[in-house]
Every structure is written in C-alpha cells, then in structure tokens.
C-alpha cells in the first residue's frame, strides 16, 4: 500500500491490488485558492468498487486498465479502515476530537463511489458494505453516493432498495452518437431509458439525482447539448455537476471547455430550475482527480 498527499491536501491511498481510495478535504473542494488547513477534519471520501473497469470510457484512465474483478466486501471495508487510521492520526495530533468511531460522519461528510470501477456491477457487495457502515458507524445511507455510468436495470434496484441511497448518473452527453463515442461500452443503454429512470428516482426521493456532465470543448458543450439537457424537464433542483475535463494522458486529443463556457452552462441550467455546480478538481498533482486513477 502506498500513500501520497497532494499540495491541496488530498490523500491518495493506492492498494497493492491496484485500486485507490481518495480522501479530499472539504476545504479543498469549497475553495481551492484558500490554503488547506494543516490538519483538516472534514473530508469527502472517494472509494473504488472494482479492480480495473470493464466500461472503457475513453476519457478515463481506469477504463484503460484491463478489468480484473469486483472488490470483495472485505476490501471495501478495508478502504474505510485505512482512511480512519489517517484521520485518527490527525485527531491525536490536534487533540480536537477524541469521540471515536461512532462519529465517522463528523469527519467523512460524504462517501462517494467515484473511484475505480462501475459500482452497480458490484451492487450486492456495495449494499452489504453500506449496511455494515450504518450498523458499525451509524453512517447514514443518504450520505453515500453511487456514481454509475448508466445501467438502467441496476439503477432501478437502487430506487427499489429499502433505504435512500444517493445516485449519480455520468451522462456526459445528451446526444446518443457522442455518448456512444466517448462511452462505447454503454451503447446498449439508450439515453432515453436513463432519463426515464432519473425521472423515477426524482419522483421517489426528496434529494434529487445528480447528473455528472463532462465539459469537453466542441463535443459536449454545444448550444444543442444545453438545450437537450433543459428539454429533459427533470425535477426542480436536479443536481447538475459540471466536470472540467482533466488533462490526463488519456484525453490529450481533447480539450476542456473554456471556463466561460462552463460558467454559461451553469447559469443556464440554474435558470432552468436545476441546481448546478462546477466540480473543483483536486489532487491533480498526484493523479487523484476525476478520470486519472490508474
């Protein structure tokens, strides 16, 4: 196991099997320009679900690694236990918090499956893991987010699940031909079916689905794309997360949208009644940002 810390305070733990866990200080997510506190105490934790990823998205380095297998329940738990060790060390140093394990959510304000792998292909283990987190650490299901590349049947299982788990859909383009190009292994799932499931999720839960949207210059940021997103008429406050394309080696042939264009999308989506944020990229210098895990 190897641990690296970014200049913005993000901590990447790479396990010997090849998957990684990313611990991101909330302060780095909120304002990257402000210095990270020496001992941050609140984090978002990004977990992996598989070793390699069979989905092969062209903008993601994890998709270039040959898929090996799902992580076991033991390995999923190990990602938490390793993280707790990091945080406990900081607690001892600062003497700010000695409350113990039942207050995991004081430190880890959200857990997101946005690391290596497609979590809905390892759903049985992940749901067992969520139940374990809830029993062992009193950690709320609503603070856990599963980010999927879009498998409608599996998304439906989350909607039917007995507890409210957050769901994020990596849509990245509302045009089928472009989505097929950048997410070639998802061709069998038409966008219209994915949007249908988003409507269903939004009907069931107060907290709306998150739509993750990669901003790629002239490919996903056209006026037509923006209008298509608005035309879906998703529920008010559906949460759009615009992700500037990272300059990872897998994406050198493409450019990110300009900051002005990304800001324009944000404003227009907000005017349409959605929530919309631009994702702050953290941990780029240690290859821990979105799409850079390999």
Least distance to ligand SF4, CB of residue 145, Å? 13
Smaller CB distance to ligand SF4: residue 116 or 276? 116
Could you tell me the sign of the dihedral formed by the alpha carbons of 156, 193, 205, 155, in that order?
A: positive
Binding mask 94-133 for ligand SF4 (x = CB under 6 A): ----------------------xxx---------------
CA distance 286 to 165: 30
Smaller CB distance to ligand SF4: residue 249 or 273? 249
Least distance to ligand SF4, CB of residue 53, Å? 3
Least distance to ligand SF4, CB of residue 254, Å? 14
CA distance 89 to 70: 30
Partner residues linked to 2 by β-bridges = 14
Q: Is 80 in the site for ligand SF4 (CB under 6 A)?
A: no
CA distance 230 to 272: 6
Burial of 35 (0-12, 13-18, 19+ CB in 10 A): exposed
Smaller CB distance to ligand SF4: residue 27 or 110? 110
- Rg of the chain over Cα atoms, rounded to whole angstroms, equals 18
Binding mask 130-169 for ligand SF4 (x = CB under 6 A): -------------------x--------------------
Position closest to ligand SF4 via CB? 63
For 212, the token pair is: 């993750």
Task: State the maximum Cα–Cα separation within the chain, in Å, rounded to a whole number.
Answer: 55
Smaller CB distance to ligand SF4: residue 25 or 117? 117
Q: Give the containing element (helix H, strand E) for 181.
A: helix 176-182
Least distance to ligand SF4, CB of residue 16, Å? 19
Smaller CB distance to ligand SF4: residue 11 or 55? 55
**CB of 149 closer than 8 Å to CB of 191:** no
Sheet holding 108-113, edge to edge: 2-5, 11-14, 20-25, 43-46, 108-113, 144-148, 166-170, 210-215, 239-244, 275-278
Binding mask 216-255 for ligand SF4 (x = CB under 6 A): ----------------------------------------
Smaller CB distance to ligand SF4: residue 118 or 287? 118
Least distance to ligand SF4, CB of residue 212, Å? 9
Count of residues binding ligand SF4 (CB under 6 A)? 11
Least distance to ligand SF4, CB of residue 99, Å? 34
Partner residues linked to 145 by β-bridges = 112, 166
Binding mask 31-70 for ligand SF4 (x = CB under 6 A): ----------------------x-xxx--x-xx-------
Least distance to ligand SF4, CB of residue 241, Å? 13
Q: How many CB atoms lie within 10 A of CB 30?
A: 10
Long-range Cβ pairs for the range 138-141 (8 Å, 24+): 138/102, 138/104, 138/105, 139/104, 139/105, 139/108, 139/111, 140/105, 141/165
Q: What residues make contact with ligand SF4 under the rule CB under 6 A?
A: 53, 55-57, 60, 62-63, 116-118, 149
């Amino acid at each position: 196991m190897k641990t690296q810390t970014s200049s913005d305070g993000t901590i990447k733990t790479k396990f010997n099997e090849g998957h990684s866990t990313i611990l991101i200080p909330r302060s780095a997510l909120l304002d990257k320009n402000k210095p990270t506190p020496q001992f941050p105490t609140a984090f978002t934790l990004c977990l992996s679900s598989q070793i390699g990823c069979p989905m092969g998205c062209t903008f993601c380095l994890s998709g270039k690694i040959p898929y090996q297998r799902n992580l076991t329940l033991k390995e999923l738990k190990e990602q938490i236990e390793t993280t707790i060790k990091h945080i406990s060390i900081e607690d001892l140093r600062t003497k700010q918090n000695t409350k113990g394990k039942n207050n995991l959510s004081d430190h880890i304000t959200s857990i997101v499956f946005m690391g290596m792998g497609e979590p809905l292909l390892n759903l049985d283990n992940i749901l067992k893991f969520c139940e374990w987190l809830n029993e062992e650490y009193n950690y709320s299901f609503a603070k856990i987010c599963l980010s999927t590349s879009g498998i409608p049947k599996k998304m439906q299982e989350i909607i039917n699940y007995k507890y409210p788990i957050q769901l994020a859909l990596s849509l990245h383009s509302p045009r089928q031909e472009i989505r097929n190009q950048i997410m070639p292994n998802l061709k069998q799932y038409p966008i219209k079916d994915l949007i249908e499931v988003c409507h269903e999720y939004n009907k069931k839960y107060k907290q709306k689905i998150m739509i993750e949207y990669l901003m790629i210059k002239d490919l996903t940021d056209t006026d037509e794309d923006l209008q298509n997103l608005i035309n879906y008429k998703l529920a008010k406050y559906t949460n759009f997360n615009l992700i500037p394309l990272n300059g990872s080696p897998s994406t050198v042939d493409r450019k990110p949208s300009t900051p002005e264009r990304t800001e324009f999308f944000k404003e227009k989506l907000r005017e349409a009644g959605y929530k919309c944020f631009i994702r702050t990229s953290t941990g780029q210098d240690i290859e821990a940002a979105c799409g850079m895990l390999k």
